[in-house]
Structure 1
Amino acid sequence: YPDSPLEGSIIRGADQDFGPHVQVFHAGTRRRPDGLLAAAGGRVLNICAEGDDVAQARERAYAAIRKIDWPGGFCRTDIGWRALER
């Protein structure tokens, strides 16, 4: 989506506290025996945020995404664009 994430690729930073307006939902992750978080396939993480308006919520979500270190990951960059054009 567009390609499959690298199964087993290490994800760092997804467990941190992003503040009261950001939620990270794990969908396709697994914890390895050594404690590291890894991609397990599919849509791996969902980052959701709240804000006073769509622009603020979008910025909070993308700010959280920028703090996650996942070299094998992919992030859409078009979320909310239709609402922002209104």
Structure 2
Amino acid sequence: MLVLSRKVGESIVIGDQIEVTVLSVEGETVRVGIKAPKHVDIFRKEVYLSIQESNQESAKPTQARMSALMKMVDDRK
């Protein structure tokens, strides 16, 4: 992990198209602004992890899906 110190108004650049700017620091809270192309998804980490977990859960085979698949296979014989 790269660790950088930045002051309010200062930025870092990631690749050629992403810029992260420190907007304010209030106590233990740091507000950042992110400039990125529209095709780049940006999420808070807890939201990203929730999306990943939801995607994994929806991809798991359920008994009903397996039964339907087995019926389709049997019907093709």
Which has the larger Rg? 2
Q: TM-score range by the shorter chain?
A: under 0.3
Higher helix share: 2
Instruction: Answer 1 or 2: higher relative contact order, Cα 8 Å, separation at least 6.
Output: 1
TM-score (norm 1): 0.22
Higher strand share: 2
